[in-house]
Structure 1
Amino acid sequence: MVLLASALFMAWAIGANDSAKAVGTAVGSGVIGFKRAVLLIGVFVTLGVFLGGAGVSGTISGMAEGMNPTHVGLVLFSAATAVTLASLWGRPISTTQSIIGGLVGASLALGLPVNWWTVGKIVSAWVLSPLIAALFAVAVYRIYKPAMKGIKGLRNLELAQKWLVFTAAAYSSFNLGANELSNVAGLLQSLGVDGPFKLVLALTLALGALTFSYNVMMTVGRELAPLGPTSAFSSQFGASLAVSAANLFGLPVSSGQAIVGAISGLGLYKGENVNLGLLVGIARGWVVAPIAAGALSYVMITILA
């Protein structure tokens, strides 16, 4: 019971925070309304967790070896608590980092060996993903902007831009299911829970997006840097490419780090006003989140398990 309740709490927390990174640029630039964005998330996250998350699930489940359902439930509860606190603050945090931090804290509390090589690879991916996303975003922008100039007629241009931003948001939502939600699914799979429960997780994530994600969406889509349709598409698509590359290697990275890196990198490339104070605050949260989740997991397992 603890495991399933915590898994649903974690899925809701991912929806409340990480969904902003999937559709924040689309909503912030005014291309998609909030409720339509939530519907888009629900559909494509479901596809992502069923079709694209095998490699990530395998990596995460391997880190939970030796843990029973109660231990894993406390890990998920600790990670979800850290993410929810960040959502209350309106900051995009990394649910992936929180789960990995919780797993490391639990392993230390239980006296289980920690595969520091795997942890090191994952942390390296966390550092590289925003940088790679920024490079992808700039590359996409340099290809995309001239292509848009070749479209005749203002109406045709606007329609093309809207559909491309929608496509990038759908792609990013798919990655949200294939990466972040697959972290939760992987932990459940390691304990024999699989199949239809992924659909329940996806629907719970959509509920989190509907009920609690708006403030984080505005942080990503409006407060970090100015976003028009061209920048929104380039940032979102560049970030999605970076996350997809990590998925191919089975590395659980953060779509939040990728989209923040893409928006910031493209904004600096274009010479726009990037909110550096906000960026530093977000980066600080990336460090605090796994430490807080790990510490809470360690304390809870020491006391309760």
Structure 2
Amino acid sequence: MDTVILVVVVVLGLVFSYTNGFHDAASAVASAISTRALPPRAALALAAAGNLAGALLSAGVAVTVAKGIIAPPGGDKGMAVLFAALTGAILWNLMTWYFAVPSSSSQSLIGGMVGAGLASGITVYWRSGVVDAVLLPMVISPLIGFGGGYLLMIAALWIFRRANPHRTERGFRIAQIFSAASLAVGHGLQDAQKSMGIIVLALVTADRRHGFEVPLWVVLVCAAAMAAGTFSGGWRIMRTLGRRIFPLRPQHGFIAEATSSIVLYLTAYFIAAPISTTQVITSSVMGVGSTRRFSAVRWSVAREIVIAWVLTLPAAAAVAAAVYALTALISPG
């Protein structure tokens, strides 16, 4: 029976990774598609390959998720906590995807872990885990994305101020293929590891593994699930990111993707913080759009996205807590 429960939780982890892929596929390829730097299927294939490659490059974020958010739960209670956490995260991902809101899969998973942990009485590492490792990086990273996108766009406008506009745009369209690939790798470097972390936590909880090192098979299956989800597409959210916030041109897309890539790589390698790819690329798009004129950005759409960001963690936590309570009611033992 313990093995069955473990398998269910691992499968749920892979389902979350899949939903993360199609939910956040827009993060890596929306701007490249909207500027016609890449056709949709080629862009999705590139994103899927980048996600797979990024997942193999580091495991720092996975370790943070596995041991830094909640105390390792034990026994059947622990597996119920992980089941509830993943269920809450998946349901929030599906709901925001349905309404075409580019919310954070990272926050939904962390929120699910916190909500299930609180409902079960398991210790939540508020200061070192939730605040320092999650909330602060998730607040600061979009601000860096916005500021970096704005400043790099200003620099690009000044550097190419006398260049031929058509030739410049053609060059940026080609360059955007590489920036989209870089962002896809950064997405895999960040988001695939969150599923890895919770699967490792499940293995530790079930006494199938000692320590929080990530086995290669976990890396491969999580990366494959995310790549499959990415290739299945996320067309609803792509339209929001690629067109509704700001009508992107190749130069805007390249700068936004380059800025986001830098933020993702720095946070993954230097502080192993699980930040949101969606938040970083969205704020970068807002930053580059603001250089045209402040009113060029559709701030009403941006406001809806920010509200979703704020609601994601507590909403996923509430769903996970409710799932845990229902699970405890059905199986009180």
Q: Which has the larger radius of gyration?
A: 2
- Specify whether residues 29 and 196 from structure 1 end up closer, same or farther in structure 2 by C-alpha distance, changes over 3 A only: same
- Say whether residues 1:253 and 2:265 are aligned partners: no
Once the two structures are TM-superposed, the CA of residue 148 in structure 1 deviates from its matched residue by 4.7
- Specify whether residues 29 and 195 from structure 1 end up closer, same or farther in structure 2 by C-alpha distance, changes over 3 A only: same
Partner deviation per Cα, 1:48-68 (whole Å, 9 max, x = no partner):
11103x221111001243333
The residue type paired with residue 165 of structure 1 is Q
For residues 279 and 72 of structure 1, the distance between their equivalents in structure 2, rounded to whole angstroms, comes to 32
Partner deviation per Cα, 1:98-141 (whole Å, 9 max, x = no partner):
01101111111121111111211211211111110111112322
Task: Decide whether the 8 Å contact of 2:245 with 2:297 is kept in 1.
Answer: yes
Q: Identify the range of structure 1 (258-267 vs 268-277) with the bigger mean alpha-carbon deviation.
A: 268-277
Task: Decide whether the 8 Å contact of 1:145 with 1:230 is kept in 2.
Answer: no
Partner deviation per Cα, 1:34-60 (whole Å, 9 max, x = no partner):
1111111111111111103x2211110
- Say whether residues 1:290 and 2:302 are aligned partners: no
The residue type paired with residue 113 of structure 2 is L
For residues 37 and 212 of structure 1, the distance between their equivalents in structure 2, rounded to whole angstroms, comes to 10
- Say whether residues 1:184 and 2:195 are aligned partners: yes
Task: Decide whether the 8 Å contact of 1:2 with 1:70 is kept in 2.
Answer: no
For residues 141 and 134 of structure 1, the distance between their equivalents in structure 2, rounded to whole angstroms, comes to 11
The TM-score with structure 2 as length reference comes to 0.85
For residues 91 and 250 of structure 1, the distance between their equivalents in structure 2, rounded to whole angstroms, comes to 26
- Say whether residues 1:166 and 2:177 are aligned partners: yes
**Which residues of 2 match residues 159-238 of structure 1 at below 5 A?**
159-190=170-201, 191=203, 192=209, 194-238=215-259
Once the two structures are TM-superposed, the CA of residue 204 in structure 1 deviates from its matched residue by 2.2
Q: Which runs of 5+ in 1 are unaligned?
A: none
- Say whether residues 1:56 and 2:79 are aligned partners: no
Q: Identify the range of structure 1 (94-103 vs 172-181) with the bigger mean alpha-carbon deviation.
A: 172-181
Task: Decide whether the 8 Å contact of 1:136 with 1:241 is kept in 2.
Answer: no
Once the two structures are TM-superposed, the CA of residue 281 in structure 1 deviates from its matched residue by 0.7
Q: Which residue of 2 aligns with 1:20?
A: 26
Q: Which residue of 1 aligns with 2:113?
A: 103
The TM-score with structure 1 as length reference comes to 0.92
For residues 201 and 162 of structure 1, the distance between their equivalents in structure 2, rounded to whole angstroms, comes to 31
- Say whether residues 1:270 and 2:292 are aligned partners: yes
Q: Which runs of 5+ in 2 are unaligned?
A: 1-6, 204-208, 329-333
Task: Decide whether the 8 Å contact of 1:101 with 1:291 is kept in 2.
Answer: yes
For residues 172 and 270 of structure 1, the distance between their equivalents in structure 2, rounded to whole angstroms, comes to 23
For residues 285 and 295 of structure 1, the distance between their equivalents in structure 2, rounded to whole angstroms, comes to 15
Matched residues, number: 303
Aligned match for 2:11, one of 1, 5, 8: 5
The residue type paired with residue 55 of structure 1 is G
Q: CA RMSD in A?
A: 2.0
Once the two structures are TM-superposed, the CA of residue 212 in structure 1 deviates from its matched residue by 4.4
Once the two structures are TM-superposed, the CA of residue 159 in structure 1 deviates from its matched residue by 4.8
Once the two structures are TM-superposed, the CA of residue 214 in structure 1 deviates from its matched residue by 0.8
Q: Which residue of 2 aligns with 1:137?
A: 149
Partner deviation per Cα, 1:209-253 (whole Å, 9 max, x = no partner):
333401101110111012100011111111222222222211111
Partner deviation per Cα, 1:10-47 (whole Å, 9 max, x = no partner):
11111121121111111111111111111111111111
Once the two structures are TM-superposed, the CA of residue 201 in structure 1 deviates from its matched residue by 2.3
The residue type paired with residue 239 of structure 1 is S
For residues 82 and 231 of structure 2, the distance between their equivalents in structure 1, rounded to whole angstroms, comes to 26
Identity of aligned residues (%): 25
Task: Decide whether the 8 Å contact of 1:64 with 1:187 is kept in 2.
Answer: no
Once the two structures are TM-superposed, the CA of residue 158 in structure 1 deviates from its matched residue by 4.8
Q: Which residue of 1 aligns with 2:88?
A: 78
Once the two structures are TM-superposed, the CA of residue 70 in structure 1 deviates from its matched residue by 4.0
Once the two structures are TM-superposed, the CA of residue 96 in structure 1 deviates from its matched residue by 0.6
For residues 225 and 154 of structure 1, the distance between their equivalents in structure 2, rounded to whole angstroms, comes to 20
For residues 145 and 14 of structure 1, the distance between their equivalents in structure 2, rounded to whole angstroms, comes to 34
Q: Identify the range of structure 1 (107-116 vs 93-102) with the bigger mean alpha-carbon deviation.
A: 107-116
The residue type paired with residue 92 of structure 1 is P
The residue type paired with residue 111 of structure 2 is G
Once the two structures are TM-superposed, the CA of residue 162 in structure 1 deviates from its matched residue by 2.4
The residue type paired with residue 180 of structure 1 is D
The residue type paired with residue 89 of structure 1 is F
Aligned match for 2:124, one of 114, 120, 129: 114
